[in-house]
Amino acid sequence: MTMVSLMYVLPTVGRESLRRAVRSLADQRSAHDRICIVANCEEHRLAYVHGVSERYDTLLVVPRVGPHGDVGGAARNAGLEMKCTTHIAYMDDDDMALPGAVEAVRVRVAADPSMLHLFKVCFVPNGALVWTDQEVREGNVSTLGIVHPHVCTRWDGKRGQDGRFAVEVHKELGHVRFHNHVVAAAWPGEGK
């Protein structure tokens, strides 16, 4: 089985919930995994972001002071440039990885490392799950459930970009594997 290392790209506008999101990943990562916080925030929030990064020993990218108004697209693209792991996954600063999720992702990706993997995400408080059917399309994919090897595709920075990104990665890689495992909890709009 292939050794898989994961880099979670985590754009942030500096919300207080960033600490919860990073802790949910940091407690589960292996020695080869990385968390890459990409600051997409106003200058007065950078000290808080730096503090979270130092406490949890993450990579920190500060492309330019933001926010950029592109719902995290530029920040995710900056994180994609950090090619220090075999695979890329995503987290937002107002969400969290569920217990055991990082290892579950690693095991499933190792079985088919060359393809796009889509995991389920639970939206809080209503409990809705995404994906709902095994089709790569807008509205059926959550950023938090996307895992892939390094690709050329980039985020477009517009609302609904997670579905478009997944469609383009699927075209680039040619194969997708859907997993019923729920890996993250999302709080849409928390702190926005």
- The arithmetic mean of pLDDT across residues 27-36, rounded, is 94
pLDDT of 171 strictly over 90? yes
What are the pLDDT digits (tens) for 126-143? 889 999 999 999 889 999
Domain ranges of the chain: 6-186
Say which CATH topology domain 6-186 has: Spore Coat Polysaccharide Biosynthesis Protein SpsA; Chain A (3.90.550)
Structure token pair of residue 149: 């090897």
* Displacement of CA 99 from its chain's centroid (Å): 16
- The arithmetic mean of pLDDT across residues 76-84, rounded, is 85
Q: Are strands 34-39 and 176-186 parallel, antiparallel or unpaired?
A: unpaired
Which residues have a Cβ under 8 Å from the Cβ of 69 and sit 6 or more positions away?
none
pLDDT of 70 strictly over 70? no
**Burial call 19-56: b when 16+ CB within 10 Å, e when fewer:** bbbbebbbebbeeebbbbbbbbbeeebeebbeebbeeb
Give the residue carrying structure tokens 């926010």.
Answer: 67
What are the pLDDT digits (tens) for 89-127? 999 999 999 999 999 999 999 999 999 999 999 998 888
- The arithmetic mean of pLDDT across residues 164-173, rounded, is 93
**Considering only CA atoms, which of 101, 107, 116 is closest in space to residue 27?**
101
pLDDT of 188 strictly over 80? no
Q: Are 58 and 34 in contact (CB under 8 A)?
A: yes
